[in-house]
Amino acid sequence: MRKLFGTDGVRGLANAELSPLLALQLGTTVAHVLIDKKVAASAASSASRYRRTRNRPTVLVGRDPRISGDILESAMISGICSQGVDTLLVGVVPTPGVAYLTALTGCAVGAVISASHNPVEDNGIKFFGPDGYKLDDALEAEIEEEIECFDSFPRPIGKDVGNIFRKHELVWDYAYHVKQTMPISLDGVNIVLDCANGAASELAPRIFYELGAKATCVNCTPTGININESCGSLHPEQMALLVKQTGADVGLSFDGDADRVIMADECGRIVDGDRIMAIYAMHRARTTGLPANAVVGTVMSNIGLELALAKENIRLIRTPVGDRYVSDQMRSIGAVVGGEKSGHIILSEYTSTGDGMITALQILAIMLSTGKRLSELAAQMEEFPQVLMNVKVRERDGWDQEPEILAAIKSAEEKLAGKGRILVRPSGTEKVIRVMVEGPDEDELKSIAASVCEVVAKKLGSS
């Protein structure tokens, strides 16, 4: 049985690793599993003004604007409809929009075609259940098992073939939801928006304008091939510079599917996901109270976040990297804020997954309600230097069985004993080994990280 699902769905080089054939097989198998397990029974029968025709399940499909999205979407929905399941196409929409609209419309499953922050050459497919949360591991494992029997699935004919319904206007229902989470007008607030030439390029400027903000927009003209290209949440430097040049109050950089946001304060200093979580959690703890009195971060969360939260008697609970693990832990303990340093933040009172626009609006609301600039709020957390290096490898599996790599890690741990930490892990979405080193001396951290990366590259590096 081949392993298809990573920490964030199925992802790979578009038209190669993630081919139209694989998209067809995934669509067919997901629809088959829905019918076979009757996963969709309640969703299909629920009263909804969006429900299509017959009393049968519907899969809602959205995507980001990258060029390969069209061919993968066409292939996947062909597979879905071939099993007698309808599809509801909403077009280009942020990933959190797919999660929200799936629950809103009573669809059985939501599917988003996006590689998020990855370059244009990549693409991905991930699925949400009828509640707007990602499918659980067991269901993904069943899809991986069933896809091997793809050719033997029954094929309905005639009137039993699924329909395709195009409802691109539904994205504005999502936009309305985003605006409704903002309790304060943005009149007089000057913002720089960087939409990464991605899924928020049309929505974000309109949402912020309608809330009253004055917005300077960059990287909001997607061509299909410029998504995430030296812009967005992975490259917020241009946005931060524009904040300084224009005298803006704040800058916001989303990624290609707008499930992340990185901010910049009025001085052009970057405010990452750790600081965003600290600002939100500490404000909640001091005002309305913080449910579970906890923030869910990951093993990559800066130790400075843990120390800042501890001053307010707030726990930081760490999970493996990946929003699935963060979300599961949040639901387990009843936490309302969790996320990653990358800017992927889940505020569960508003959304079931990371939502860059909703996160940004909640921080803006805190700024306005307290009368404090973002720089003042961000200063509540002191960030320790953290060096992250990536090594491209032939395969991610088996790295932790290499004696030389393990010896290099042990040597690094000895150098950092009592003052820092090292974390080596495979990426969940790319053929990359990530080396993170954290401590007080950045020059020493760079040296330690480079020495470990050198050994990883020697043993596993791609040619």
Q: Answer whether 242's CB lies under 8 Å from 309's CB.
A: no
Is 116 designated active site?
Answer: yes
Strands 250-254 and 190-194: parallel
Give the gyration radius of the chain's Cα atoms: 22
Active-site option among 68, 116, 233, 327: 116
Alpha helices for 151-261 (secondary structure H): 171-180, 203-210, 237-246
DSSP string of 374-412, one letter each residue: HHHHHTTSPPPPEEEEEEEBS-STTGGG-HHHHHHHHHH
The DSSP call for residue 140 is H
Which value, to the nearest 10 degrees, does the dihedral of the CA atoms of residues 173, 359, 102, 12 take?
Answer: 120
Report how far residue 124's alpha carbon sits from residue 427's, in angstroms, rounded to the nearest whole number. Answer: 15
Reference 427, options 407, 399, 406; nearest CA is 399
User: 350: which 2 tokens?
Assistant: 């508003």
Q: Look at residue 342 and give its three-state secondary structure.
A: coil
CA 375 to each of CA 10, 173, 206, 251, 270: distance values in angstroms, whole numbers, following the listed order: 38, 33, 26, 12, 10
The DSSP call for residue 101 is H
316, with CB counted inside 10 A (0-12, 13-18, 19+), is buried
Active site residues: 116
